[in-house]
Amino acid sequence: MRTMRTCQVVALLLALMGCPVSMLGESKEVRDSTVHLIVVDGLGAKLHGGEIKSFLSKRTGQDLASRFHLDKFQEEVATAIPVGEYQLRVNQPGFPVASRVVQISKSDEWVYVSVRTAIVHVIDVGSMHESNGNFKVASFINVDDGNEFASAFHNNTAMDIPYGIYELVASMPFAHTVKRQVYVFKPEVWVFISLELSPVSLPEYLSPREVITGEVTNINPEDEPIYVTLVGLHVPYTIDDMLVMSGSSGTFKLAGVNPDGQLLLITSGKNGILNIREVTIPQDQHVVINLGDINGRK
CB 67 within 8 A of CB 80: yes
Question: Does residue 8 belong to any structural domain of this protein?
Answer: no
Instruction: Supply the pLDDT for residue 188.
Output: 97
Q: How far is CA 54 from the centre of its chain?
A: 29
Non-local CB neighbours of 203 within 8 Å, separated by 6+ positions: none
* 280 close to 261: Cβ distance less than 8 angstroms: yes
Q: Are residues 43 and 103 in the same domain?
A: yes
Residue 10 lies in a domain: no
pLDDT score of 164: 95
pLDDT for the residue 114: 94
What pLDDT, on a 0 to 100 scale, did the predictor assign at position 201? 52
pLDDT in tens, 168-190: 999 887 777 889 999 999 999 99
**pLDDT by residue (tens digit) across 42-65?**
999 999 999 999 999 999 999 999
CA distances from 18 to 9, 14, 22, 25 (A): 14, 6, 12, 16
Domain annotation covers residue 284: yes
Are both 231 and 180 inside the same structural domain?
A: no
| Together in a domain, 110 and 144 | no
DSSP character at residue 30: P
Sites in the chain below the pLDDT cut of 70? 1-28, 127-133, 197-204, 294-298
CATH number, domain containing residue 258: 2.60.40
Structural domain contains residue 18 = no
**Do the domain assignments include residue 204?**
no
Report the CATH number that the domain containing residue 90 is assigned in CATH. Answer: 2.60.40.10
Q: What is the domain range of residue 161? A: 117-193
